[in-house]
């Protein structure tokens, strides 16, 4: 199923852009083409579904790529483990060189798209209960809306720190049109509330159409608890136990499993199945992901059927070479690739001179179709296994169950199993698996933030976040624990406070 990307009316969109009042003004000055208003729209069951579909739409906004890079790359360049050949993508370069500022449009896209999704979720949560329809279906729609609102807030609070917390629809005369920031703990409390309510909404454990599921809800809640156990809230043992219990529920459900082959990570036929718990949905015939595909191939080396080859992002050599000897993930065309055939002559193979990202590579699109239907992964079962192992180890030290879930990932990588480690040794072994298994899936910077640690590609150990030096020179400062609030938001809302150092 391909979720519609349009919002339900101009008024919904205007409410969504609650920090961009000029956009609302533009909408209000145009004729009302739909004749729908918030008051008269929510009357039929199909209105409930379309309002929820509009919430999903914001998931796509930070994906993609092209000659200007893409917002998702912000979280990768901030790790110090990515490189680019795209000199004009200044937003990427500023983040990579740790000279980022509040004018960076990557951060602006995260802010506006996620608050748009939150606004549409707020409207759905407020209005769907008044629609006369099947109660079970109504509760499922509300569960989807709650999950998506929690997901957007989880990203925002980790990226920006203290942010506005809005849970009701906002109108132009609303006192919350220019909101003040909430504490991070208040935001996390709302996230947990949304996810625990969503757990009881009757959603199925899996759904091959790509909609929110109970498996996704429990997986995200485990991740939230794990994050709350670490920085900045530092809730410690109780929340490590909560995270282990919730991830354990997902594991014990037996609804998900690791793919036998890494090839399945980038096959259209496997999306929303097996290892994939929740994804951003794309279709080659409706909304293609060409932007992503042109971004993960080397700059103008003639290997792809795409006319654009941007070299927007690839892996640092030092990072790929930090994997253990014999790790299958570093073999050619597993997680990365260094060679490919020429589009002009597929019998000729060229050395590309770097480690490019194969885990997101759509072979068919590059060879022939130039139209990709690959989804973008948001929650993968491998992450759930690692969340369980880490939280279990933090709560009670190494256990047989924790060893087994990590060793499942290591066996797939053709690596020896872990055993007989101290709690500290096992802790760092799990962290290394996170860095290596979840690379370039927008997970690593979030781990750095909650752990206050950064991976040293030379020693294969972990440095304190503040003071860690990237392999190419820049040194992390305390300010890099959050991103700057976009300039336009500070200018339009005087109640917002810029993060220190920006």
pLDDT in tens, 396-418: 999 999 999 999 999 999 999 99
Kind of pairing, strands 314-315 and 82-83?
antiparallel
Place of tokens 């941007």: 310
End-to-end Cα, the chain, rounded Å? 42
Q: Are 3 and 53 in contact (CB under 8 A)?
A: yes
Cβ atoms within 10 Å, residue 434: 23
For the CA atoms of 255, 260, 262, 267, what is the dihedral angle to 10 degrees? -60
> Is residue 76 predicted with pLDDT exceeding 70?
yes
User: What is the SS3 assignment for 78?
Assistant: coil
**Tens of pLDDT, residues 104-139:** 999 999 999 999 999 999 999 999 999 999 999 999
Q: Which CATH number fits domain 10-203: 1.10.3720.10, 2.60.40.10, 1.10.1330.10, 1.25.40.390?
A: 1.25.40.390
> Positive or negative, the Cα torsion across 102, 108, 112, 113?
negative
**CA 409 centroid distance within chain:** 21
Tokens of 279: 């994804």
Write out the E strands in 248-399. Answer: 276-280, 314-315, 336-342, 345-357, 376-380
Task: Return the ∠ at Cα 103 (arms to 98 and 108), rounded to 5°.
Answer: 100
Give me the residue spans of the domains in the chain: 10-203, 282-374
C-alpha to C-alpha distance for 333 and 82, rounded to whole angstroms:
18
Alpha helices, DSSP H, located in 161-286: 184-199, 214-229, 237-252
- Residue 271, pLDDT > 90, answer yes
**Tokens (6 digits) for 246:** 């919730």
Q: Considering the chain, what percentage of its residues have pLDDT values greater than 70?
A: 92
Average pLDDT over residues 317-321: 98
Task: For 44, list phi and psi in degrees, rounded to 5.
Answer: -130, 155
For residue 475, the cross-strand partners are 469
Is pLDDT of 380 > 60?
yes
pLDDT beyond 50 at 17: no
Q: What is the CB neighbour count within 10 angstroms for residue 401?
A: 13
- The predicted-structure confidence for 439-468, as pLDDT tens digits, reads as follows 999 999 999 999 999 999 999 999 999 999
3-state secondary structure at position 276: strand
- Give the model confidence (pLDDT) of 188-236 as tens digits: 999 999 999 999 999 999 999 999 999 999 999 999 999 999 999 999 9
Pairwise CA distance, residues 36 & 53, whole Å: 17
Q: What is the pTM of this model?
A: 0.93
Peptide bond into 398 cis (omega under 30): no
Task: Using alpha carbons, select from 457, 136, 179 the residue that is nearest to residue 322.
Answer: 457
The confidence score (pLDDT) of residue 177 equals: 87
pLDDT at res. 287: 54
């Amino acid at each position: 199923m391909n979720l519609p990307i349009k919002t339900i009316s101009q008024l919904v969109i205007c409410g969504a852009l609650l920090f961009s009042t000029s956009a609302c003004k533009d909408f209000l000055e145009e004729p009302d083409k739909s004749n729908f208003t918030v008051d008269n729209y929510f009357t039929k069951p199909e209105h409930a579904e379309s309002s929820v579909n509009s919430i999903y739409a914001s998931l796509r906004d930070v994906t993609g790529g092209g000659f200007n890079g893409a917002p998702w790359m912000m979280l990768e360049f901030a790790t110090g483990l990515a490189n680019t050949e795209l000199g004009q993508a200044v937003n990427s370069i500023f983040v990579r060189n740790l000279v980022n500022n509040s004018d960076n449009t990557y951060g602006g896209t995260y802010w506006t798209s996620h608050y748009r999704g939150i606004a549409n979720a707020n409207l759905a949560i407020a209005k769907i209960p008044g629609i006369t329809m099947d109660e079970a279906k109504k509760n499922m729609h509300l569960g989807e809306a709650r999950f998506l609102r929690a997901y957007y807030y989880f990203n925002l609070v980790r990226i920006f720190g203290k942010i506005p917390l809005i849970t009701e629809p906002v109108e132009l005369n609303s006192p919350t049109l220019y909101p003040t920031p909430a504490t991070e703990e208040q935001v996390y409390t709302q996230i947990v509330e949304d996810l625990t309510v969503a757990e009881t909404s009757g959603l199925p454990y899996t759904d091959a159409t790509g909609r929110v599921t109970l498996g996704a809800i429990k997986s995200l809640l485990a991740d939230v608890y794990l994050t709350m156990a670490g920085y900045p809230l530092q809730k410690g043992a109780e929340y490590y136990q909560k995270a282990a219990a919730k991830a354990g529920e997902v594991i014990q459900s037996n609804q998900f499993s690791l793919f036998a082959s890494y090839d399945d990570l980038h096959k259209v036929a496997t999306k929303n199945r097996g290892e994939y718990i929740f994804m951003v949905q794309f279709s080659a015939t409706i909304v293609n992901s060409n932007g992503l595909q042109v971004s993960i191939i080397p700059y103008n080396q003639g290997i792809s059927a795409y006319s654009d080859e941007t070299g927007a992002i690839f892996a640092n050599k030092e990072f790929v070479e930090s994997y253990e000897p014999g790790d299958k993930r570093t073999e050619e065309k597993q997680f990365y690739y260094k060679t490919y055939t020429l589009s002009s002559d597929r019998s000729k193979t060229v050395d590309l001179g770097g480690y490019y990202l194969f885990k997101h590579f759509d072979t068919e699109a590059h060879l022939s179709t130039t139209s990709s239907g690959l989804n973008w992964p948001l929650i993968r079962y491998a992450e759930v296994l690692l969340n369980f192992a880490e939280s279990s180890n933090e709560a009670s030290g190494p256990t047989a169950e924790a060893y087994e879930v990590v060793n499942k990932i290591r066996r797939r990588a053709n690596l020896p199993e872990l055993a007989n480690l101290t709690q500290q040794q096992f802790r760092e072994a799990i962290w290394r698996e996170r860095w290596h298994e979840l690379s370039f899936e927008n997970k690593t910077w979030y781990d750095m933030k909650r752990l206050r640690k950064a991976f040293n590609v030379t020693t294969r150990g972990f440095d304190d976040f503040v003071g860690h030096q990237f392999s190419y020179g820049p040194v992390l400062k305390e300010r890099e624990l959050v991103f700057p609030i976009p300039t336009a938001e500070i200018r339009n809302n005087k109640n917002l406070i810029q993060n220190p150092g920006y």
